[in-house]
A and B are shown apart, each in its own frame.
Chain A
């Protein structure tokens, strides 16, 4: 029996894995223009450009680490989330068979990889209701290299002389950039949450990746911090792949969440240049009406 939701989700996975969104692509083109000619940083970015073009043309993964599969679903009130989850799991399984996703999910206790990409917590699906009739589904594929360099700081952080204020936040965020060099494939994008608890801090930091790279934070304090971190990080000379160079970050997105008085977390998620996120708005028949990025 044909299942239009299944088809739409497989197409969402395919496109997310094989095609970089326009905003990220444009930022990479700008970074290539700004690197010094004849450097290995420039060569690295040229290979990246060629890779993006090739992946799109061949409809194959931009990066072999197709990452953890994270869905963000905005659904109307009364929507059947159980049915969605079952269909999403089937879509992941079929996308894996077709090579849009690597066999990338391992049983943490036995070490077994059954090749389906399904298991506890895989894929991750976050549901939110909204008061609109349509279904919106965003997808992030987040590779392990950049996930491993994420960091959560608890302030005060004495070694970094980071106190519980914006200067302290700035210090730890820039420390995360320094420590991530080379390991998360740069130039990267930061998603940051100031506050929250250990779980929501990371959760909200990752949701920042759903923002457009070129947008501006409506909160002037956070906007200033975003611009400052971006500028400062790009003055450090870390460069693409950590080879040295002018582009260390393509973007910085920061949000804040309330905290309890005893806790002050700054959670930093790092996304590599292979910034795989897409989204779709679906029609009443679950066909794709519009791409979001």
Chain B
């Protein structure tokens, strides 16, 4: 596992290749549907949210306040990233993001932005909310909680050794594109052979 420590430099990010397994340590900010739409429409980042050189995490965690008044993350896996495809490239460009954590991968626009601006897509394991919550050492803050509600708010999380796989790198390569193409042609063969068997 390759350690990926905050702050994330362009050099560090450019060295990563599709298939690399990384352990992320440092600060990440969650942001999903509402945040992406808001930024896309020209909304400004709340004071305290530092995306430049940072990582945005497509996640809506379960967070409870404990008896001491501290936020505790009790579940924190990734959400499906493709919904942010219309907005992600612009946000990578405008806010200087070095990494996007999510699941399911993203499309060609995001892949091009990763290549141009030096960013990677980091695939976390979907549904692994407990393993990933254990990597959250501390909730440093929350922004836009009132406006967007808990799952859609921006949570500032300190993570340690958060496991993810590079599935889109900064050299234009995408594992998702490759697997889709391969599985599509495998399916075409199996559809054709079955139809052939039925009508020889």
Chain A, interface size: which category?
35 or more
Which stretch of B47-55, B73-81, B86-94 is in the interface?
A: B73-81
Which stretch of B5-13, B110-118, B129-137 is in the interface?
A: B129-137
Q: What residues of B have a CB within 8 angstroms of the CB of A272 in the complex?
A: 126-127
Distance in angstroms between the alpha carbons of A44 and B128 in the assembled complex: 9
Distance in angstroms between the alpha carbons of A225 and B122 in the assembled complex: 37
Identify the interface centre among A143, A175, A241: most chain B CB within 10 Å of its CB.
Answer: A241
Task: Judge whether B24 is part of the interface by a CB distance below 8 angstroms.
Answer: no
Distance in angstroms between the alpha carbons of A64 and B155 in the assembled complex: 14
A54 and B183 form a contact (CB under 8 A): no
A239 and B179 form a contact (CB under 8 A): yes
Q: What residues of B have a CB within 8 angstroms of the CB of A60 in the complex?
A: 62, 74-75, 129-130, 133
- The proximity string for B residues 31-53 relative to A, scoring 1 for CB distances below 8 Å and 0 otherwise, is 00010000000000000000000
Chain B, interface size: which category?
35 or more
The number of inter-chain residue pairs (CB within 8 angstroms) is 161
Q: What residues of A have a CB within 8 angstroms of the CB of B82 in the complex?
A: 183
Distance in angstroms between the alpha carbons of A43 and B124 in the assembled complex: 11
Distance in angstroms between the alpha carbons of A244 and B76 in the assembled complex: 24
Identify the interface centre among B79, B105, B127: most chain A CB within 10 Å of its CB.
Answer: B127
| Chain A residues touching B, majority SS | loop
Task: Judge whether A123 is part of the interface by a CB distance below 8 angstroms.
Answer: no
Task: Judge whether A267 is part of the interface by a CB distance below 8 angstroms.
Answer: no
B134 and A242 form a contact (CB under 8 A): no
- Of the residues A103, A148, A174, A242, contact of B150 by C-beta under 8 Å: A103
Task: Judge whether B169 is part of the interface by a CB distance below 8 angstroms.
Answer: no
Distance in angstroms between the alpha carbons of A66 and B77 in the assembled complex: 11
Q: A48-B125, A51-B125, A102-B62 are in contact. Are A237 and B130 (CB under 8 A)?
A: no
B130 and A40 form a contact (CB under 8 A): no
Q: Which of B154-200 contact A (CB under 8 A)?
A: 163, 165, 167, 175-176, 178-180, 182-184, 186-187, 190-191, 194-195, 198
- Beyond the given pairs A43-B163, A185-B103, A243-B179, 6 more chain A to chain B contacts, judged by CB atoms under 8 angstroms and listed by A's residue number, are A62-B130, A64-B133, A102-B60, A103-B149, A174-B187, A178-B180
Interface residues of A (CB under 8 A from B): 40, 43-44, 47-48, 50-51, 54-55, 58, 60-66, 99, 102-104, 106, 111-113, 115, 143-145, 148, 167, 170-171, 174-175, 178, 181-183, 185, 232, 235-239, 241-244, 272-274
Interface residues of B (CB under 8 A from A): 19, 21, 34, 59-62, 64, 74-77, 79-80, 82, 103-105, 123, 125-131, 133-134, 148-152, 163, 165, 167, 175-176, 178-180, 182-184, 186-187, 190-191, 194-195, 198
